[in-house]
């Protein structure tokens, strides 16, 4: 029997199961959770239920910790802007970080998180330096001569937008009506568009005010979620390149609002909420 304690967090409704593998004595548990299907833990009917699973591992070379991220389908993902804020909350609870700062290594590079805590010391909000956006097709990656003006057509609907890389691939599409966008119908097709060799996250976006966007997202390996941090950054960067917004952008998502600051790197800020802790027998969950 392999029992581990997991923490459930959400950041603007984008929810994650977070497992702290920082204790050296829990190394067997680390191997167990990495070997168990993450999709079983993320299953909303038979598991804990989440958009993704995050494992907090010990850091090295100046990093406080390392993030290992699985999407709900069990595939390893490179980065999550909401997920790393949830990780920061659990890492700070484990005693990491100092002076409101945490350094985290991810599969898309090192990221610095600044956080705000309440009177009990619990993290309630965080801002992440997400690194620079890329529009280089090979770096996104997208098999196209340019990342700009990417078009697609499904069931008679014409889409047009830009591809962007935030450590993971995105396709940002501008629509006239976000509420009526066919996210769940067309998102799966767009995720698997053959031009994206690693699949892609898909943002359906409209400009709703001065320096304000409204977005719904189809996340790669997950489905439609209430929020996507890297997607908000990609949407803001694409809209900024098109001259639609300034350097400070509010991105409204079904789960709340995210703040995006554009510059040489992109900073993403928003709330973090601890939902509950749960102890799980991985041997049982892995069999569902």
Mean pLDDT on 255-270: 98
Please tell me the distance from the alpha carbon of residue 19 to that of residue 7, in angstroms, as a whole number.
6
Query: 160-207, pLDDT tens digit by residue?
Result: 999 999 999 999 999 999 999 999 999 999 999 999 999 999 999 999
The pLDDT, as a whole number, for residue 198 is 96
Residue 34 has pLDDT above 90, yes or no: no
Residue 31 has pLDDT above 60, yes or no: no
Please tell me the distance from the alpha carbon of residue 212 to that of residue 225, in angstroms, as a whole number.
20
The pLDDT, as a whole number, for residue 134 is 98
Q: Count CB-CB contacts under 10 A for residue 134.
A: 17
Residue 149's H or E segment, with its range, is: none
Residue 276's H or E segment, with its range, is: strand 273-281
Please tell me the distance from the alpha carbon of residue 39 to that of residue 71, in angstroms, as a whole number.
8
The pLDDT, as a whole number, for residue 36 is 65
Is-contact 70 83, C-beta < 8 A? no
C-alpha angle 172-176-179 in degrees, rounded to nearest 5: 85
Residue 76 has pLDDT above 90, yes or no: no
Is-contact 170 231, C-beta < 8 A? yes
Mean pLDDT, the chain, as a whole number? 92
Residue 28 has pLDDT above 80, yes or no: no
Mean pLDDT on 127-142: 97
Q: Report in angstroms the alpha-carbon separations of 34 from 108, 167, 168.
A: 19, 22, 21
Query: 64-73, pLDDT tens digit by residue?
Result: 999 999 999 8
Is-contact 171 159, C-beta < 8 A? no
Q: Which token pair is 91?
A: 């890492």
| Phi/psi of residue 132, nearest 5 degrees | -80, 155
The pLDDT, as a whole number, for residue 282 is 76
Mean pLDDT on 232-252: 98
Pick the CATH number of 3-130+271-285 from 3.30.565.10, 3.40.640.10, 2.40.50.140, 3.10.310.10: 3.10.310.10
Is-contact 86 12, C-beta < 8 A? no
SS3 228: coil
The highest-level CATH class for domain 150-264 is alpha beta
Please tell me the distance from the alpha carbon of residue 124 to that of residue 11, in angstroms, as a whole number.
10
The pLDDT, as a whole number, for residue 32 is 59
Domain boundaries, the chain: 3-130+271-285, 150-264
Instruction: Tell me if domain 3-130+271-285 and domain 150-264 are identical in fold.
Output: yes
Residue pointed to by tokens 């041997």: 283
Residue 32's H or E segment, with its range, is: helix 27-35
| Phi/psi of residue 282, nearest 5 degrees | -65, -30
Q: Count CB-CB contacts under 10 A for residue 283.
A: 12
Among 219, 242, 209, residue whose Cα is nearest residue 79:
219
Residue 25 has pLDDT above 70, yes or no: no
Is-contact 74 58, C-beta < 8 A? no
Please tell me the distance from the alpha carbon of residue 7 to that of residue 272, in angstroms, as a whole number.
13
61's torsion region: left (phi>0), alpha (psi -120 to 50) or beta?
left
Q: Which token pair is 34?
A: 């990495």
Please tell me the distance from the alpha carbon of residue 134 to that of residue 13, in angstroms, as a whole number.
26
């Amino acid at each position: 029997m392999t029992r581990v304690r997991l923490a459930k967090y959400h950041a603007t409704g984008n929810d994650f199961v977070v497992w702290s593998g920082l204790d050296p004595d829990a190394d067997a548990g680390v191997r167990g959770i990495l070997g168990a299907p993450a999709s079983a833990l993320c299953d909303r009917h038979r598991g804990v239920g989440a958009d993704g699973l995050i494992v907090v591992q010990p850091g090295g070379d100046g990093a406080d910790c390392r993030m290992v991220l699985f999407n709900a389908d069990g595939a390893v993902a490179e980065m999550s802007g909401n997920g790393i804020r949830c990780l920061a909350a659990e890492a700070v609870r484990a005693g990491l970080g100092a002076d409101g700062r945490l350094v985290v290594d991810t599969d898309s590079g090192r990221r610095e998180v600044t956080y705000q805590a309440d009177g009990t010391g619990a993290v309630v909000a965080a801002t992440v330096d997400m690194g620079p956006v890329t529009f280089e097709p090979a770096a996104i990656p997208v098999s196209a001569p340019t990342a700009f003006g990417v078009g697609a057509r499904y069931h008679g609907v014409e889409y047009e937008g830009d591809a962007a890389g935030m450590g993971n691939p995105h396709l940002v599409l501008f629509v006239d009506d976000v509420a009526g966008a066919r996210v769940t119908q067309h998102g799966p097709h767009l995720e698997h568009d053959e031009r994206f060799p690693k699949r892609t996250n898909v943002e359906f976006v409209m400009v709703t005010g001065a320096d304000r966007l409204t977005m719904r997202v189809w996340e790669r390996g997950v489905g439609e979620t209430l929020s996507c941090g890297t997607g908000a950054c990609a949407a803001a960067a694409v809209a900024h390149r098109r001259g639609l917004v300034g350097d400070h952008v509010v991105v409204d998502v079904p789960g709340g609002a995210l703040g995006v600051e554009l510059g040489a790197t992109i900073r993403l800020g928003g709330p973090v909420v601890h939902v509950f802790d749960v102890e799980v027998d991985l041997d049982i969950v892995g069999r569902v």
